A and B are shown apart, each in its own frame.
Chain A
């Protein structure tokens, strides 16, 4: 594999007059100790669209995604600089209530991580903590979010069963249901289907296509077919930098940068 220049980049300019953005980042850098893992990424994320972040392992796409809801705050020695604009606020600044912000920007992780609680409690636990006590509202929330996550039919008779007793694919859909029960604005997904079989993967992809009506989705994926199938925009990451950002079909048919072309046509990665 050859080395590509990080200066050779193409980031498509989206006209703010024609597009509504959920999140825009400006020169976001992520450091682990002295090591700069992400070098100044500026990307727009359009509302009610799916944006895929693709790239080889270690290209910084997951690290960048995790900085969007400040999950890197919990990693000792990590530091994020630059602006992350959400509803006119820079959520990367110190005076932001991180916990409140995360209610609006939810996340689904690479490995399913349901709580060691029942299916019902997995979904209602956080809303209950935030003060929702009415049983009919909670019941409704469980049903709606499980239906949106395409899990309702399989578990509706066993809502008191442990979330850990489900299969891997079901656990991941439970985690998606748990995240959307909070009715976030933006859903960050970090390779949500990487540990799943093809059938579960395709169910989750269907789920995402449906969620697009109400949520802005930013998804990291290793699977290029997946990115091509479901996303509206794609950003290609290489060596800690967003090399190319464009409409998905352009990235996969006529990429402007050689590194992108080589990656999507399978020459490296």
Chain B
């Protein structure tokens, strides 16, 4: 075959492979949405789940998912920023930073169920936090922190060395240069990574089954005292999330409409994760334009 026809053939193969991937994704998403969306209603989104009868919703699970997400991001974002800035800007290349980077790599490839069991042993039992939002948030931090740190470090490294020299040559200190020159330029990348991480955390189930628990006690949305057990803000209450709920009704659900609830909940979960991804792209692009175009 001539070089030209080989080129044509291989281009065709690549198109076909890309097409298969798109088809798979579209089919999966379409199926879940098609099955689930008919069951999604305002009532479904806001009412509490029922264990034995039909007509239960996912209101509490949905709230739990967002609250858990918020709490785990509040813990992990500052840690990831600190570690990422250290690794990208201050760490010298020596055995210690090699160890840190390797540890982050290994941590980021841990199966989430292992992270969940670790969280169970440490946060739930050892620290005595019980099955609670706090235990869940800490487990999710373990799960998310390596990837976030990596993302912060990579985003900072994308900013050219010349930018740092520009800041230093004007008499700015290293810290000022990092905070006011490098981070603003890396912010879109950092933000995109954070939002994608949030999407991953939002859909996580295995790490939460043994940490945040599998029950969703009734909440009183008029009670905003975080110390009350019925308060939605209480970080020490058990909190089944949407993803855990889906797993649970599929494994031991005895509601007559279990299949419908599961389908509806899956559709909501998928939409939320998609929304995180779209937001990450849109927000990242917009922020980049704003930061660079003055």
B271 within 8 A of A: no
Pick from A102, A109, A111, A114: contact of B171, CB below 8 A. A102
B163 within 8 A of A: yes
B240 within 8 A of A: no
Contact flags (1/0) for B258-294 with A, using CB distance below 8 Å? 0000000000000000000000000000000001111
A56 within 8 A of B: no
Within 8 A of A (CB), among B158-203: 160, 162-173, 176, 180-181, 184-185
A217 within 8 A of B: no
Nearest Cβ distance between residue A63 and chain B, in whole angstroms?
Answer: 14
Is B163 within 8 A of A99, CB to CB?
A: no
Given contacts A113-B160, A115-B163, A115-B181, whether A165 and B169 have CB atoms under 8 Å apart is: no
B252 within 8 A of A: no
Within 8 A of B (CB), among A186-241: none
Bound CA–CA A122/B154 (angstroms): 25
Contact flags (1/0) for A166-183 with B, using CB distance below 8 Å? 000000000100110010
Is B92 within 8 A of A76, CB to CB?
A: yes
- In this complex, what residue of A is CB-closest to B169? A107
Bound CA–CA A120/B294 (angstroms): 9
Is B162 within 8 A of A165, CB to CB?
A: no
Contact flags (1/0) for A76-96 with B, using CB distance below 8 Å? 100000000000000000000
What residues of B have a CB within 8 angstroms of the CB of A161 in the complex? Answer: 293-294
Within 8 A of A (CB), among B55-106: 92-93
Bound CA–CA A4/B165 (angstroms): 34
Is A179 within 8 A of B169, CB to CB?
A: yes
Bound CA–CA A245/B293 (angstroms): 45
What residues of B have a CB within 8 angstroms of the CB of A101 in the complex? Answer: 171
Is A99 within 8 A of B171, CB to CB?
A: yes
Query: Could you tell me the dominant secondary structure of chain B's interface residues?
Result: helix
A121 within 8 A of B: yes
Q: Which of A23-31, A123-131, A255-263 is the interface stretch?
A: A123-131
Contact flags (1/0) for A30-72 with B, using CB distance below 8 Å? 0000000000000000000000000000000000000001010
Pick from B164, B169, B180, B292: contact of A106, CB below 8 A. B169
Is A178 within 8 A of B292, CB to CB?
A: no
Bound CA–CA A120/B160 (angstroms): 21
Q: How many residues of B contact A (CB 8 A)?
A: 24
Nearest Cβ distance between residue A84 and chain B, in whole angstroms?
Answer: 16
Is A125 within 8 A of B93, CB to CB?
A: no
Is B291 within 8 A of A178, CB to CB?
A: no
Bound CA–CA A150/B160 (angstroms): 27
Nearest Cβ distance between residue B268 and chain A, in whole angstroms?
Answer: 39
Chain A contact-residue range equals 35 or more
What residues of B have a CB within 8 angstroms of the CB of A178 in the complex? Answer: 166, 170
- In this complex, what residue of B is CB-closest to A165? B293
A164 within 8 A of B: yes
What residues of B have a CB within 8 angstroms of the CB of A175 in the complex? Answer: 166
Nearest Cβ distance between residue A75 and chain B, in whole angstroms?
Answer: 10
What residues of B have a CB within 8 angstroms of the CB of A100 in the complex? Answer: 171
Is B172 within 8 A of A99, CB to CB?
A: yes
User: Which of A74, A100, A164 has the most CB atoms of chain B within a 10 A radius of its CB?
Assistant: A74
Given contacts A129-B176, A165-B293, whether A109 and B165 have CB atoms under 8 Å apart is: yes
Is B165 within 8 A of A99, CB to CB?
A: no
Bound CA–CA A165/B165 (angstroms): 20
Bound CA–CA A47/B164 (angstroms): 29
Is A126 within 8 A of B172, CB to CB?
A: yes
Bound CA–CA A178/B171 (angstroms): 12
- In this complex, what residue of B is CB-closest to A117? B294
Nearest Cβ distance between residue B196 and chain A, in whole angstroms?
Answer: 23
Is B163 within 8 A of A103, CB to CB?
A: no
A144 within 8 A of B: no
Given contacts A74-B164, A109-B166, A126-B170, 13 further A-B contacts (CB under 8 A): A69-B169, A74-B168, A76-B92, A76-B93, A99-B171, A102-B168, A103-B170, A113-B166, A125-B180, A161-B293, A162-B293, A165-B293, A178-B166
Query: What 9 pairs between A and B have smallest CB-CB spacing?
Result: A118-B294, A103-B171, A113-B162, A126-B170, A107-B169, A102-B171, A113-B166, A116-B292, A162-B293
Chain A residues within 8 Å of B, Cβ to Cβ: 69, 71, 74, 76, 99-103, 106-107, 109, 111, 113-121, 125-126, 129-130, 160-162, 164-165, 175, 178-179, 182
In the assembled complex, 5 residue pairs joining A and B whose CB atoms fall closer than 8 Å, in A order, are A99-B172, A102-B168, A113-B165, A120-B294, A130-B171
